[in-house]
Amino acid sequence: MTPTLAQAAAEVGIDWGWVFGHVDEMWERTVEHVTLTGVAVVVGFILAVALSLVAIRWRATYKPITWFTGVLYTIPSLGLFAFMVPFTGLTLLTAEIGLILYTLLILVRNIVAGIDGVPANVVEAARGMGYQSRELLWRIEVPLAMPVIIAGVRIATVTTIGLVTVTSLIGQGGYGVFIERGISRRFLTEILVGTVLSVSLAVLFDFLLVRVGRWVAPWTRKTAV
Amino acid sequence: MISLVDVTKVFPGMDHPAVDGLSLDIAAGEFVVLVGPSGCGKTTTLKMINRIIEPSSGEIWVDGVAATETPAFELRRGIGYVIQQIGLFPHRTIAENIGTVPELLGWDRPRIAERIEDLVVRVGLDPAMLGRYPSELSGGQQQRVGVARALAADPPVLLLDEPFGAVDPIVRFQLQEEFLRLQEELSKTVVFVTHDIDEALRMGDRIAILNVGGILEQFDTPENILSGPASEFVADFIGGERGLKRLGLRTVGSVDLTRGPVVDVRSDVETARDAMAQYGTEWVALLDGDRLLGWVWGEDLDGQLTDLEPHSFWVELDPESTLRKALNAVVMTRSRVAVVVEDGIYRGMLGLETIAGEVDQ
Amino acid sequence: MGSPVDAKDGGVMDLFSDVSDFVTDPANWTGMITRTLDHLWISLSATLVAALLILPLALYLAHYRRAEFLATSLVNMGRAIPAFGIIGLALPISLALGLGVGYWPTFVALVALAMPPIFTNTYTGVTGVRRAVVEAARGMGMKDGEVLIRTEIPLAMPLIWTGLRVSAVQVVATATLGAVVGWGGLGRYLIDGFAQGDDAQVLVGAVAVALLALFVDALFAVGERFLPGDQTADRFSSVTA
């Protein structure tokens, strides 16, 4: 009944032939995965900016907004997708709505925290020099909040890349296809390929966003004395 | 230049006003210090001038315009503002920080650049720092940038809220001196808040001493406040050593110096003894032309004066020194006088009597 | 397939009456209760096992301020590794070890996924205790173990609890995917529903799994009030940092 460890090791070995035979499909799945992620993060970011502006302008709305986005964030991803399937079907739209909703909590929280984190004396100095509210927000507060906002975008992007693996279950492609198919065929190599590609993509995007962060916030490159 | 007329500020939820019916008139080019203990409303008063805080009632006039009638941002662009925490923009270089208000006012780039170059030198910063970020500068340097930034658009009025409160005493003294020098060149109308009475006495043309609740106790020159405190509170606040503080306000150059028992080193012993007798001293100072060599005891006078080894006056003052320094010089030498030398030329001396006489007046 | 067409053809009202039929049919009751309890049980036991495995290590490393790099990279790794991939990988390994499909691959994957949040929050919480407090504790003669138990753990408790909470909620979510590797739980309704084009079943599953996640989250929120020590720490501070 119990197989020896040697047998087990042989069974879980990697089939390199399969790997090299599927390079084309990997590229295809990469394009799908990146597209699903990109649309979700970009649209999520736009919505989050709008929600954050509301939260900053009308403070009382901040708690309800984070409560609501927090509830969405707590709901299991497959559950969130499934909830919409009866209405929007096993479609791209279903996948994107779910993914976008997941980014909101992280992004709104970081945008608002970033703006709130601007030192009070900087704001006072700016007001004292005659900045009006709008100029103050866009030219002082938003640039200074950039490192925290970018940190939020990083978390949102990496999280979304992980979540996109699940969208294969509602028929939307991405690396999840390898995992799902590997599970049904009980084929380790394919599952591993899907997982490793997803992790690699997350690491790559995280790295790129760190670079973007340094570019939009050059003053953080040099450390304080 | 700045007028506060019966200005009151009551913060929401507070029983007592922070500032209560305050009236002040500040002339153009005048350096006024608001000083008092915490809770006296000095910072509130300052911040009402540029409407960071809105007054509850009363009128504030800046340069003939009612502050409350002008849009706040417009008013502020014409008033330089420096706060203790400085509030430099961490995401902008030193040059961009200094150029903030000119940029808001829509100056063209070359003019802004020229202005920045000029200011950086004026406040004593190395132009090499212009491309750096605030976090790379020391506290003293940051405060200099803060001052340069406030001066950038050449506003006629400057408001400073404990600007030198966050730096160590040595740097603070340096910044005070530099600021006074700058003020001498620029003649801005300055309102300066501090809780440090010594800073107030050193910097201000006039000092407004405020009591808790924004009550004006006295508004006068440092000299008058020290010689005639208007109330018990003022006397307490300026503290002991009032005499010493007054001496700190006067310079040696402003009093009549005596020639003193001074003879040329080539004179004979008799001349030296005559000089001692004239001033009733037991010592005589020796000069080589205009240059002060030191002093010798009368009992050591013998033979040629040039053969004697004179004792030095430990402290030599210049006419810009304060009488307080002179007093220190007096107690530091056994001859009990302070000597004044300007550019290596002997000007005269003063003793305890002269110094004490200045406090009596 | 073709479920959206069905829904549109039948209309939303039909969908709701289907759902109501499903829920009111006594034949489905046992299944609903069993799956909910199974789901809850595997989630809580996996979180508990993960905590027992990782907490001692996290406390030890944090107390001596070792492996700071590991602590920071583990947060990022935890996010980057897809839960679906972990569950998938657990399957062939479980098969190879003769543990079969269903429960074991799901359980092992859940334990693995629960560990990073517990580790990083505990680590951040303990290292975040102000040095002055630790120094004072030492100054009063506490030994390492006493410093940990009497000052560091109580002060880090809000964050440790947050770690458990984040883990548990994430585990409930991931347990849904257990259905893909042949386990039961509420995920079955979703996977079966997709396969059969049964929208009513999908909707019931989606609502059930969402409610369960919110319930577990609320459970931990209530539990937080009974913790000793300072309860003012921000729940999300470790995420934003």
Mean per-residue pLDDT, A211-220: 87
Task: Give the whole-angstrom CA distance, residue A170 versus residue A164.
Answer: 11
Q: Is residue B245 part of a domain?
A: no
Same domain, B184 and B108: yes
The answer, yes or no, to whether residue C240 has pLDDT greater than 70, is no
Mutant choice from A4, A109, A164, A183 vs C, greatest count of C C-beta within 10 A? A183
- Write out the residue range of the structural domain in which residue C89 sits: 3-240
Strands B189-194 and B2-9 turn out to be unpaired
In sequence order, what are the residues at sequence separation of 6 or more whose Cβ sits closer than 8 angstroms to the Cβ of residue C14?
A: C7
Q: In this predicted structure, what is the pLDDT of residue C4?
A: 46
Work out the mean pLDDT of chain A and round it to a whole number: 88
Q: Which residue has the higher pLDDT, A5 or B266?
A: B266
**Which residue, of B172, B207, B240, is where some domain finishes?**
B240
Shortest alpha-carbon distance between residue A20 and chain C (Å): 20
Whichever domain contains B16, its CATH number is 3.40.50.300
CB contact under 8 A, C4 and A91: yes
Q: Give the C-alpha separation, A102 to C57, whole Å.
A: 31
Are residues C105 and C85 in contact, defined by beta-carbon separation less than 8 angstroms?
A: no
**Cβ contact A91–C86 (<8 Å):** no
CB A89 within 8 A of CB A110: no
| Beta-carbon count within 10 A of B309 CB | 8
pLDDT at residue C237, as a whole number: 37
Calculate the average pLDDT of chain C: 82
CA–CA min distance A99, chain C (Å):
14
Residue B64: how many other CB atoms lie within 10 Å: 7
- Summarize the confidence of residues A38-67 as an average pLDDT: 94
Q: Where are the beta strands (DSSP E) in chain B?
A: 2-9, 19-26, 31-35, 57-62, 65-66, 79-83, 157-161, 189-194, 206-211, 215-220, 262-264, 283-288, 291-297, 316-317, 337-342, 345-351
pLDDT value, residue B180: 92
Residue of A nearest to B99 (CA): A129
pLDDT (tens digit per residue) in A113-139: 999 999 999 999 999 998 988 899 999
Structure token pair of residue A26 = 């990997």
The number of helix segments (H) and strand segments (E) in chain C equals 11, 0
Q: Exposed, middle or buried: residue B136 (CB in 10 Å: 0-12, 13-18, 19+)?
A: middle
pLDDT digits over B139-156, tens only?
Answer: 889 989 999 999 998 999
Tell me B259's DSSP state.
Answer: -
Percent of chain B with pLDDT over 70: 99
CA distance C122 to B75: 52
Residue A156 CA to residue C152 CA, distance in Å, equals 31
Residue type, A218: P
Reply yes or no on whether the pLDDT at B33 is more than 90: yes
pLDDT tens for residues C37-51? 999 999 999 999 999
**A221-225 average pLDDT score:** 49
Contact B138 A225 (CB under 8 A): yes
Interface of A with B (CB under 8 A): 119, 121-132, 135, 140, 143-144, 146, 217, 219, 222-225
| Among the partner residues B74, B85, B90, nearest to A130 by beta-carbon distance | B74
Q: Verify that B189 and B259 share a domain, yes or no.
A: no
CA dihedral C179, C184, C185, C191 (to 10 degrees): 40
At A52-65, the pLDDT tens digits run 999 998 989 999 99
**Domain span holding position B307:** 253-360
Query: B89 and B193 share a domain?
Result: yes
H-helix or E-strand spanning residue A63: helix A62-74
- DSSP strand pairing (B157-161 vs B189-194): parallel
Domain count across chain B: 2
CATH fourth-level superfamily of A16-215? MetI-like (1.10.3720.10)
Selected residue of A15, A85, A88, A116 to mutate for chain C interface (largest C Cβ count, 10 A): A85
Instruction: Give mean pLDDT, residues C55-64.
Output: 92
Q: Which of A166, A178, A182 is nearest to A76 (CA)?
A: A166
Paired sense of beta strands B316-317 and B337-342, if any: parallel
Question: Is there a domain that residue B168 lies in?
Answer: yes
> Which of B16, B18, B20, B27 has its CA nearest to residue B6?
B20
- CATH classification at residue B270: 3.10.580.10
> Do B45 and B185 belong together in one domain?
yes
pLDDT digits 0-9 by tens, C179-226:
888 888 888 888 888 888 888 888 888 899 999 999 999 999 998 888
DSSP 8-state symbol, B268: -
Percent of chain C with pLDDT over 70: 90
Domain edges within chain A: 16-215
- Domain end: B240, B272, B289, which one? B240
Residue with tokens 């970033």: A114
Q: Give the CB-side neighbour count of residue B203, counting CA atoms within 13 A.
A: 33
User: pLDDT by residue (tens digit) across C107-150?
Assistant: 999 999 999 999 999 998 999 888 888 888 777 778 888 888 88
Structure tokens at B73: 């941002």
Token representation of residue B253: 């150059």
Residue C133 has which token pair? 């407090």
Q: Which residues of B touch A (CB under 8 A)?
A: 50, 52, 72-77, 79, 81, 83-92, 100-101, 104, 132-133, 135-138, 146, 149, 159
User: Does residue B205 share a domain with residue B342?
Assistant: no
In a domain, B215, yes or no: yes
pTM: 0.77
- Whether chain A has a CB inside 8 Å of the CB on C133: the answer is no
Q: Is C118 in the A-facing interface, judged by CB distances under 8 Å?
A: no
Instruction: Say if residue B302 is exposed, middle or buried (CB neighbours under 10 Å; 0-12, 13-18, 19+).
Output: exposed
Residue A10: per-residue pLDDT? 56
Give contacts of C193 with chain A, Cβ < 8 Å: 82, 85
CB contact (8 A) between residue B73 and residue A222: no
Residue B308 tokens read as 């004697």
Residue B335 and residue B350: Cα distance in Å, rounded? 11
Closest C-alpha to C225, from C153, C145, C161: C161
Amino acid in the structure at residue B90:
P
Complex ipTM tops 0.85: no
Q: Is residue B248 part of a domain?
A: no
Q: What is the CATH number of the domain that holds C236?
A: 1.10.3720.10
Of residues A119, A130, A144, nearest to B77 (C-beta): A130
pLDDT in tens, B217-233: 999 999 899 888 899 99
The identity of residue A172, as a single letter, is Q
- Please state the domain count of chain C: 1
Q: Does B246 fall in a domain?
A: no
